[in-house]
């Protein structure tokens, strides 16, 4: 369930019987022909679907992340790493202050990777809490399913093209783009990167049949739910 569908009294009652919660992290950035908010839509949705049968509240997605390399694409908004970590820390502090003791961060954007480094620091300051960061799209079972379907898959390609990340009336190109040189991508300034990438797809088909992507989604939801319902260990 989403925390936005609860009032404070319901949260208080929930905390009398459980202390788990989910915080999704996203980004607002170019995703080729898909929505700029792909990286926010997907972690929030996978978290909500995973948590719903367990009755665990999911907080609103943090819609902005660290994505300076895409700055030349209009609509992309990037936070500094220090700003992003400060905001995440403040949100986690607030969740702990409310009484949540087991928090799963479902991350939907690779540029937010510094959050992994925050975990031991934050838990050292909150020894009665457990914090787990889950990069949903590259979790072992989910990524294995992607590779089974089509190993050429990356940013802005079919693996992010779900019914809920498409834009009405936007037609997808039919070609399969070769994978970009990721080593080169990491060295380019924003304008040069846009020149190299073009429409922003890192490689692969732009779209595959819904049965393919929905099978990936099913695994992703189950894998996320297994963490929520698993052995968190003693706080």
For 19-46, the pLDDT digits (tens) are 999 999 999 999 999 999 999 999 999 9
CA-CA-CA-CA torsion for 141, 144, 145, 147, nearest 10 degrees?
160
Check pLDDT > 60 for residue 214: yes
Tell me the mean pLDDT in the region 110-116.
97
Residue 63, classified by CB atoms within 10 Å of its CB into exposed (0-12), middle (13-18) or buried (19+), is: middle
Q: Which pLDDT band, with edges at 50, 70 and 90, does 235 fall under?
A: very low
pLDDT tens digit sequence for 135-189: 999 999 999 999 999 999 999 999 999 999 999 999 999 999 999 999 999 999 9
Q: Given this model, what pLDDT does residue 231 score?
A: 83
pLDDT tens digit sequence for 67-108: 999 999 999 999 999 999 999 999 999 999 999 999 999 999
DSSP 105-144: EEE--GGGTTHHHHHHHHHHH-TT-EEEEEEGGGSHHHHH
Check pLDDT > 80 for residue 202: yes
pLDDT tens digit sequence for 46-73: 999 999 999 999 999 999 999 999 999 9
The structure tokens listed for 113 are: 């990777």
DSSP 41-67: HHHHHHHHHHHGGGT--BPPPB--B--
Strands of the sheet with 130-135, listed across from one edge: 20-25, 102-107, 130-135
Task: Write down the domain spans for the chain.
Answer: 3-228
Domain 3-228: homologous superfamily in CATH: Creatininase (3.40.50.10310)
Check pLDDT > 90 for residue 197: yes
Residue appearing with tokens 């991508």: 185
Using alpha carbons only, what angle is made at residue 54 by residues 53 and 56, rounded to the nearest 5 degrees?
115
In the chain, what is the straight-line distance between the N-terminal and C-terminal CA atoms, in Å? 23
Q: Given this model, what pLDDT does residue 233 score?
A: 52
């Amino acid at each position: 369930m989403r925390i936005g569908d609860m009032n404070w009294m319901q949260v208080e009652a929930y905390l009398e019987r459980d202390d788990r919660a989910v915080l999704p992290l996203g980004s607002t950035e170019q995703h080729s022909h898909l929505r700029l908010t792909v990286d926010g839509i997907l972690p929030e949705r996978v978290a909500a679907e995973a948590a719903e049968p367990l009755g665990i509240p999911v907080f609103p997605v943090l819609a902005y992340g660290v994505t300076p390399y895409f700055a030349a694409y209009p609509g992309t908004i990037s936070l500094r790493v220090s700003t992003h970590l400060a905001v995440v820390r403040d949100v986690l502090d607030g969740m702990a202050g409310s009484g949540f003791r087991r928090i799963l961060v479902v991350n939907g954007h690779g540029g937010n990777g510094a959050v992994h480094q925050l975990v031991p620091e934050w838990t050292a300051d909150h020894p009665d809490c457990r914090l787990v960061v889950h990069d949903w799209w590259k979790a072992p079972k989910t990524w294995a399913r992607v590779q089974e379907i089509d190993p050429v898959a990356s940013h802005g390609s079919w693996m992010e093209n779900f019914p809920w990340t498409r834009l009405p009336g936007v037609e997808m190109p039919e070609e399969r783009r070769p994978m970009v040189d990721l080593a080169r991508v990491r060295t380019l300034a924003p304008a040069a990167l846009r020149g190299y990438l073009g429409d922003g797809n890192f490689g692969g088909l732009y779209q595959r049949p819904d049965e393919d992507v929905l099978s990936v989604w099913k695994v992703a939801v189950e894998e996320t739910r297994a963490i929520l319902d698993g052995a968190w260990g003693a706080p």
